[in-house]
Chain A
């Protein structure tokens, strides 16, 4: 493991540039509040209880890892947090806003404003260059082209890929692809970054780089929630939530990631 690389400096986004003011101002307010959150799936005759009444509060700026055996509900929880899925019952407040009343469009606009997603399989659009992929959320939001260009440049610099802006995903390594995905996730300056197995498809070294970047963003105040199988990855967080059969089995703060 080459964890001792001075990667951290490389990826630090200078604090005057983004997020921090807003995010720091909100620190210590709960950004995520869950109350009795349930999610059930009807599969044939059987009712699968993916989440069994979760109560949870996550404070703005926290670095949380979610671990647990396969099928314990980690991804389901993450997608509900990211407003891609809706709970069967229970309450979810995001940045103080009750999400229960939101319709499709309102959830879409909340995702656009407040949420950044990182997926195990990157989910870059194959025909678009790295820069175009990063630009996409802003293009959809109707951000002015000049501003888009500036933000894309900053975001790609932030993940040390400025020199790969014109490359398509198939011309990039796995680690580089995931860094493009990170740039895309943060370019709209969300409040929460959600990652589902972000290092699952990467070798240890590039996985490490990706984690460093996300941790640097967390240090600037971005709330970071990482779902993972890998104990080494999970241990890096400041708070460790263990899921088991849809219940919170453990919730442990080590403070290491502040």
Chain B
């Protein structure tokens, strides 16, 4: 078990390095000299030339990569050109907002998705099942901005129950959490439903029934744990995805999170910020996947023994 966890962590490290390298290289090939962006359009070419040399921008790319990683390991991701602040400070400022949104949305998704999936499976092919699955499908397939604007219009503008945007209170989190969580609730519900139906076909379910367990006890004690194990992985990965920034939700609701930070960096061609934010998001996703695997191994005794 401990071995498995250590192995899982060790395999994540080369992936992280590779991903950081790829992101770094991709941003290198973007056109435009960062110094001219930083200094504005009126800067003289000679000055740009000199500053570029001073900052080591003409060094070979591998040298620059090494320097970047070295500094990053010391918590220094460079300075944002536009905002003129440490990238790490900007991430530290926006991340809590993203975390709050991710937690609210995930809670919504889990509390809605899991029971909905169970009900659907038990009432398979009945009206309730079709109804729940339809709502799930709408959540999965409708664009976030559409649903967001709809909810803003109804609850914020017409009913005036909830604030339209911002991120100062829990009330502010409700609409974004529903919007961001809906799709995820939908996919959780669908996965719970199909897993549960699949698990119910197993021989050990027949054994459980032959022991005299009542139907709900068969589902609750013998089917649920087995069918939720893969869902936990999905939930962890979705959660990590939300932690890495929900670009559209954050933008529509004016939440200053990682997603917004990234979009702003792109709009401003703010390379160090873009690079830092992207790498941060990606690392979160890698760590999330790793955590999902490790969590899964805690749930499944067969993996635990490997």
Mutual binders A and B: no
Taking Cβ atoms with an 8 Å cutoff, the residues of A that contact B are: none
